[in-house]
Structure 1
Amino acid sequence: MADTKTPPLKSTLSFDDGVIEKIAGLAARNVDGILSLDGGMLSGITDRFRNQADPTQGIDAEVGQKQVALDMNATVEYGKDIHQIFEQVSDRVVRDVRNFTGLDVIELNLHINDVMSKRDWQEQTKGKPNSQHAPEAKHVE
């Protein structure tokens, strides 16, 4: 009688950098005090030609087989505790990337490139594609 064992399946799971960037971007945008994730002046120029929001804007990921390194650029709300914002961004991004992909975030760098009031930020981004992520400004009388 011949041995008819099935050979073991060789399989891999990999993620495009953009997938990790999107997960990180969506997680970070849900942190109170993050007004936007953006790449500074060059990003602002390319944003003028976009007609859709880009959740990967302001994020660069290096994705390996088991680990991820992230660089993020953000505009934060004036008056908020930036250290607390950083901790919350780190916690959420690390948790979501791990839960959704099984990958470990081994490095997360958050660069703050601007600080603005919600109202000023909303005025500046009115009509831009990524402004849909803008928190609502509260009217104070």
Structure 2
Amino acid sequence: MPDPMKTKLTYDDGVIEKIAGLAARNVDGVLSLDGGLLSGLTDRFRSESDPTQGIAAEVGEHQVALDMKATVEYGKDIRHIFDEICQRVNRDISQYTGLEVVELNLSINDVMSKREWQAQNSGKPNSNQSTEQVN
């Protein structure tokens, strides 16, 4: 009698990073997810957006750990932004993959007004990547 078929579903780190990035960019007050100076320099030469920018994931068989870096809007409650990011990222990763987010670390690397951010980032490919339409 043949052995039963063995199956296994796995996710590349980049898939989880993309889901997390798209979810986090939907949070009001998040201006960008970014990796700092080097990432900003790379952005200048890139023609397409990268929704995984500013995110690092460690993916196991059942769990995920995430490190994220963000620029947020000045005047917004950063604690609320963090709570909303955690909620949306947890929801989307669980809903789409069945994996559990066991750790999410968010490093805020800059705050600026929306106008200042828009002026600085106009034309850059990662300036606005989200999964929801903003009205």
Instruction: Please tell me the TM-score bracket, short chain as reference.
Output: over 0.9
Partner of 1:96: 92
Q: Which has the higher contact order (CA 8 A, sep 6+)?
A: 2
1:121 to 117, 121, 130: 117
Residue 29 of structure 2 is matched in structure 1 by: 33
TM-score, with length taken from structure 2? 0.93
Q: Give CA deviations for 1:58-98 in whole Å, capped at 9, x if unaligned.
A: 00000011110000000000000000000000000011001
Query: Is 1:84 the equivalent of 2:80?
Result: yes
Unaligned runs of 5+ in 2: 131-135
Computing the radius of gyration from Cα coordinates, the structure with the larger value is: 1
Q: Is 1:63 the counterpart of 2:54 in the alignment?
A: no
| Identity, % of aligned positions | 69
Residue among 100, 108, 124 paired with 1:112: 108
Structure 1 segments unaligned to the other structure (5+ residues): 135-141
- The DSSP-based 3-state class of the residue aligned with 1:95 is helix
Q: Which runs of 4+ in 1 moved over 4 A?
A: none
The Cα of 1:48 is off from its aligned counterpart by: 1.0
* Residue 33 (structure 1) shift: 0.3
Structure 2 Cα separation of the partners of residues 41 and 132 of structure 1: 18
TM (normalized to structure 1)? 0.89
2:42 to 46, 51, 73: 46
Q: CA RMSD in A?
A: 1.2
After TM superposition, give the deviation of residue 6 of structure 1 in Å.
5.2
The answer (yes or no) to whether the contact 2:32–2:128 under 8 Å persists in 1 is no
* Corresponding pairs, count: 130
CA distance in structure 1 between the aligned counterparts of 2:123 and 2:63, rounded to whole angstroms: 37
